[in-house]
Amino acid sequence: MKPDEDAFGRELYDYMLGNNHCEVIERDDGYLDVNDDLVEYFEPYENWPLHHRTAMRYVKGRALDVGCGAGRHAIYLQGMGLDVIGVDISPLAIKVSRMRGLRDARVMSITEITPALGKFDSVVMLANNFGLMGNPRRAKLLLKRFQSVTTDDARILAESTDPRATREPVHKSYLQRNRENGRMSGQVRLRLRYRQYKTPWFDYLLASKKEMRKIVKGTGWEVDNFIDSGEPIYIGLLKKCRKA
């Protein structure tokens, strides 16, 4: 990632230095979503939403935090005595994580995760990071790959949002356009902008519970349960299928 593309890392780095500016998420239909307070990326455990705190009970052993950002989940788990590796495609996000105390933080895309990292008992994909799967085809390929980097009783904590749980006409229209173009409703194409920085365009996958079950089928994983939030966002607890 080029320095002028690292909008996410730059906003985290600036915030840590005491400079809070707006984060802009731009969708490919021109829709803009503005976040004017980045504190959520740095919140301590006691300020997390309940479903995130509940999810921590399911993390055990050696853990991989995919899309670790500023490291809030990985640093908490590290403090609980777990062996944790945090990975993120953003070099500056990884710098921030290290500065905040995460001992093992690596610049790495989700597609670069290989058995070279060793075996994990838990894969953490919170903060809607199931979206990093990008599209259903890539999700299936990556889930199959995750078989080789996890232990037999491993779990994946996959957070997503049901895209159809909206009343906004602009969002409903976007979902419909996706379906008409042969894409999943929640296969969102977007980029993140911050001041003069902007990421490349990328696909970000939002899935309902039913869609998550469908994506996972045939990958060697299955949905064991869901952790609800009381809103359209939820966490899927994935476990490996029993071998016949």
pLDDT of residue 1: 85
Q: What pLDDT is stored for residue 155 in this prediction?
A: 98
| Predicted confidence (pLDDT) per residue in 4-22, tens digit | 999 999 999 999 999 988 9
pLDDT at 21: 86
Instruction: Give the pLDDT score at 122.
Output: 98
Over residues 77-103, mean pLDDT: 98
* Mean pLDDT calculated for residue range 62-78: 98
pLDDT band of 81, cuts 50, 70, 90: very high
* Domains delineated in the chain: 44-182+205-240 (3.40.50.150)
pLDDT at 142: 98
**CA-based nearest residue to 230, from 54, 60, 78:** 54
- Give the model's confidence band at 169: pLDDT under 50 very low, under 70 low, under 90 confident, else very high: very high
pLDDT of res. 242: 82
What number of CA atoms fall less than 13 Å from residue 199's CA on the CB side? 25
Tens-digit pLDDT profile for residues 187-218 = 999 999 999 999 999 999 999 999 999 999 99
**Predicted model pTM:** 0.95
User: Dihedrals φ, ψ of 194, to 5°?
Assistant: -150, 115
Residue 133 exposure: Cα atoms within 13 Å on the Cβ side: 30
For the cut 70, the answer to whether the pLDDT of residue 43 exceeds it is yes
**Mean pLDDT of the residues in the chain:** 96
Name the nearest CA neighbour of 184 among 201, 157, 158, 163: 163
Stretch 166-193: mean pLDDT, rounded? 97
- Does the pLDDT of residue 244 top 70, yes or no? no
Helix (H, G, I), strand (E, B) or coil at 225: strand
Mean pLDDT of 42-64: 97
89-108 average pLDDT score: 98
Please, are residues 10 and 24 in contact by the beta-carbon 8 Å criterion?
A: no
